[in-house]
Amino acid sequence: MKIGFIGLGIMGLPMVKNLLKAGHDVVAFDIVKANVDAAVSAGAVGAGSSKEVAAACKLIITMLPNGPEVKEAVTGTNGILDGVLSNSGKILVDMSSIAPEVAKEIHGLCAAKGVKMLDAPVSGGEPKAIEGTLSIMAGGEQSVFDEVREVLLCMGASCVLCGEIGAGNIVKLANQIIVAVNIAAVSEAFALSTKAGVEPAKVFSAIRGGLAGSTVMEAKIPMIMAGNFKPGFKVDLHIKDLQNALDTGESNTSPLPLTEKILDVLRGLSAEGFGQNDHSAIAKYYEQLAKTEIRG
């Protein structure tokens, strides 16, 4: 299948590579030319605009930072909707993490031109994007999901239809709350044990197989112990997701006190210049409080 892909950053480029590996043809675009060049080097065909991608492909995937960027790619000048004829049967799968209400708005604009849409954000960060083992959570019609599911599984280990349009991003917000709070809990616990004189590596070995063990701990504690905060998922992007969670919670009268607390921590880290670090840099907040470093 010829697939259009818009957004070739930390996540998008390895996702394109996995589509190519699975035997699909990919037409790729990004506003950063170097990213397009990297996709072309991997075997994709480069495009000069979102419009050009949409004109060439029935299935178009977007992987962009936030709602405004997705709206621009879809509805802006030389955007996706400029490149499609009405009722052409094209499908947009937005794999970005955006506010659910924005996903619904974009869906309405697409539907007016006969473009079917899923919102299908992912979890797993850069490592699982590279491996092709992302968790994909989708919202939209069952028939559209069935049409693209096998393509999505070229990039993910699981792909679940969670409900109507917007449901994918609601589930992603739940995921991001759990991840952020988990990183914070792990960081607080390891700061305590380190300050009390127990080596972090021994704490990790002792508890990872018990009830406290988690995917987050397995992924983030080795990074924290190595002082490696190279981004797989950036602090600033997690700030965006948690703000979207708070906005969604407010509109649904669902209080999110832990989310508010961790969002304050992340904003503080960003203000200190750590916004482009991996979100495991939450550990730096606890290291500063305890005046210790979790290294081992």
Whole-angstrom Cα distance, residue 8 to residue 44? 11
Q: Looking at residue 87, what is its pLDDT? A: 75
Query: What's the DSSP call for residue 82?
Result: G
- Give the tens place of pLDDT for each residue, 275-294: 999 999 999 999 999 999 99
Output the CA–CA distances (angstroms, integers) from residue 179 to 1, 165, 201, 238, in the order listed: 34, 23, 21, 10
Phi, psi of 41 (to 5 degrees): -60, -30
Q: Is the pTM of this model over 0.85?
A: yes
- Give the tens place of pLDDT for each residue, 121-130: 999 999 999 9
The one catalytic residue among 172, 234, 240, 284: 172
Q: Looking at residue 189, what is its pLDDT? A: 98
Dump strand ranges (E) for 55-188. Answer: 59-62, 91-94, 116-119, 122-123, 134-139, 156-163
Q: Looking at residue 174, what is its pLDDT? A: 98
Per the annotation, the verdict on 172 as an active-site residue is yes
- Give the tens place of pLDDT for each residue, 44-56: 999 999 999 999 9
Mean pLDDT for 15-31 is: 98
Whole-angstrom Cα distance, residue 177 to residue 233? 14
**Complete domains list, the chain, with CATH:** 2-163 (3.40.50.720), 170-290 (1.10.1040.10)
Of all residues in the chain, what percent carry a pLDDT higher than 70?
100
**Token representation of residue 54:** 């949409």
Residue 134: burial class (beta carbons within 10 Å; 0-12, 13-18, 19+): buried
**Token representation of residue 67:** 């709602």
| Nearest CA among 178, 273, 275, 174 for reference residue 234 | 275
Q: Give the mean pLDDT of the chain.
A: 97
Q: Looking at residue 85, what is its pLDDT? A: 83
Whole-angstrom Cα distance, residue 25 to residue 148? 15
Q: Looking at residue 99, what is its pLDDT? A: 96
**Residue 134: band (very low, low, confident or very high) from pLDDT cuts 50, 70, 90:** very high
Whole-angstrom Cα distance, residue 242 to residue 236? 10
Q: Looking at residue 88, what is its pLDDT? A: 83
**Token representation of residue 259:** 């989310």
Q: Looking at residue 205, what is its pLDDT? A: 98
Mean pLDDT for 239-256 is: 97
- Geometric angle at alpha carbon 91, from 89 and 93, rounded to 5°: 175
Q: Is the pLDDT of residue 241 over 90?
A: yes
- Give the tens place of pLDDT for each residue, 54-88: 999 999 999 999 999 999 999 999 999 999 987 78
- B/e letters for 91-125, b = 16+ CB within 10 Å, e = fewer, are bbbbbbbbbbebbbbbbeebeebebbbbbbbbbbb
Whole-angstrom Cα distance, residue 296 to residue 199? 7
Whole-angstrom Cα distance, residue 237 to residue 65? 7
| Nearest CA among 235, 236, 220 for reference residue 279 | 235
Q: Looking at residue 86, what is its pLDDT? A: 77
Q: Is the pLDDT of residue 92 over 80?
A: yes
